[in-house]
Amino acid sequence: MDMDWNLIESIGIGLGLGVAAGFRVVVPFLVLSVAALFGHVPLAENMQWLGTNTALLGLSIALGVEILVYSIPGLDNLIDTVALPVAAISGTVLMALAANQLDPFAQWSLAIVAGGGTAAAVKGLNGFSRLVSTATTGGFANFLIATAELLGALLLSVLALVAPVLVWLVVLVLFAVLVWLAVRALNRPKVPTSENGANSLKPNTRNSSATRIT
C-alpha cells in the first residue's frame, strides 16, 4: 500500500513538472536545481549536475532569455514551433526521473505518455492561444499569456515538490481552463482593419441623394 502511495506521489511530481515544462521549458529544471542545492530533493546519480551552482547560473540565464523572447510578439509564435518538441522531451525526462522506481519499460512508457504527452499538449494549447491572440489583437494580449505561463510554470513546479498528490487535481482543472481559453480565443472577433473602419465612416451618398430628391 505504501508503495502504491509513493508511486502516486512520484507520478504527481513528474506530472506537475511535465506540465510546467509545457508552460516554460526551463522553469521546472531551475526549481529542481534550487531544491537540490538546498537539500530538499535527492537527485539520481546521473542528474547530480543539476544540483550545482553552475547549473543554477546557466538555467537562470536561460530563463531570462526565454522571458525576453516571449515578450516579443511574432517571435514568440516562431519560438513556440521549436519549443513544442523540446517541451515534449523535457516532460518525458522529468517524468522518467520521478518514476525511477518502476521497471525501465513501465518507467519510459509512462514518461513518454504522461510526461511528454502532457507537456506537448499544454505547449500546443498555449501556442494556439498565442497565435490566435496575435491574429486578433495584433500581439497586445501576448504579454498577458506569457506572464500567466511563467507564473503557472513556477507554481506547478513548486507544488509538484511540496504537494504532489494535489497536482492531480490542479492539472485536471488546468487543462479544462486551457481548453476554454483556446476556444474563447478562437471565437474572439477580429479587430477591424483600417480599410473596414474607413468604409464604415463613409456617408451613404445614395441614401442622401434619395432624401434630397424626395
Nearest-angstrom CA–CA distance, 205 and 29: 65
Q: Which residue has the cell 492539472?
A: 171
Residue 163, by phi and psi: left (phi above 0), alpha (psi -120 to 50) or beta? beta
Buried b (16+ CB within 10 A) or exposed e, 175-199: eeebeebbeebeeeeeeeeeeeeee
Per-residue pLDDT of the chain (214 residues; tens, 9 = 90+): 445 778 888 889 999 999 999 999 999 999 999 999 988 888 888 788 999 999 999 999 999 999 999 988 888 888 988 899 999 999 999 999 888 888 899 999 999 999 999 999 999 988 888 888 888 888 888 889 999 999 999 999 999 999 988 988 888 887 787 778 777 766 766 555 444 444 544 555 554 444 444 4
Under a CB-based contact definition with an 8 Å cutoff, are residues 20 and 159 in contact?
no
CA angle 135, 24, 150 (to 5 degrees): 80
Of the CA atoms within 13 Å of residue 211, those in its CB half-sphere come to 5
Name the residue type at position 199. Answer: N
Kindly report the backbone phi and psi dihedral angles of residue 11, in degrees, each rounded to the nearest multiple of 5, phi listed first: -65, -35
* H helix intervals, 99-163: 104-110, 117-137, 142-162
Name the pTM for this structure.
Answer: 0.78
Q: What is the pLDDT of residue 188?
A: 64
Q: What is the pLDDT of residue 204?
A: 53
**Among candidate residues 59, 79, 56, the one with its CA nearest the CA of residue 145:** 79
Domain locations in the chain as residue ranges: 2-192
Q: What is the pLDDT of residue 190?
A: 56
Q: What is the pLDDT of residue 202?
A: 52
